[in-house]
Amino acid sequence: MHMPPGFAIVTPYIFAVNTDDYVRFLNAAFGAVELGRSVMPDGRIANCQVRFDTATIMISEASAAFPPSQAAFYLYVADADEAVARAIAVGAEKIMDVEDMPYGDRQGGVHDPSGNIWWVSQRKSTDPYF
């Protein structure tokens, strides 16, 4: 099966309002890097690829035909406390304090400006599953 570099068999695809602002949020909050974009004749984003270290997602401007999507994402970071604080500082809403979880992660949660949930986790356990 052919996939572009950095993409997985299943790649999340988000429809967002004010997609340009949303891409800036993902960069400022989580360090996501824009790989490329295509735009519609009116200047709105038709498709934007954004990379988080080893994972890539795609984002497009929402419309009547494709309304804003809401999903939950589990994002591993080096420092969950710092990442959640940074996300809140640039517009996310906290939904769960960062704390140590029984499954070996230090985790907090935020809603992003588009209504998606991000579970931001720092792996503490050496057990690959718990």
Phi and psi torsions of 111, nearest 5°: -95, 130
Tell me whether residue 91 is in a domain.
yes
pLDDT at 5 over 90: no
55-84 pLDDT, tens per residue? 999 999 999 999 999 999 999 999 999 999
**Of 80, 79, 91, whose CA–CA distance to 24 is shortest?**
91
Tell me whether residue 47 is in a domain.
yes
Q: What percent of the chain has pLDDT over 70?
A: 99
Q: Determine the average pLDDT of the residues in 12-22.
A: 96
Tell me whether residue 129 is in a domain.
no
* Domain encompassing residue 37: 13-123
Three-state DSSP state, 20 = helix
Number of domains in the chain: 1
Tell me whether residue 96 is in a domain.
yes
Tell me whether residue 6 is in a domain.
no
Tell me whether residue 3 is in a domain.
no
Cβ atoms of residues 58 and 11 within 8 Å: yes
Identify the residue with better confidence: 67 or 8.
Answer: 67
Q: What pTM value is reported for the model?
A: 0.92
Residue 13: per-residue pLDDT = 96
Q: Determine the average pLDDT of the residues in 38-66.
A: 95
The residue behind tokens 């270290």 is 53
Residue 106: per-residue pLDDT = 97
Tell me whether residue 128 is in a domain.
no
Helices 19-30, 80-89: axis angle to 10 degrees equals: 150
Q: Domain of 31: which CATH number?
A: 3.10.180.10
pLDDT at 130 over 80: no
pLDDT at 45 over 90: yes
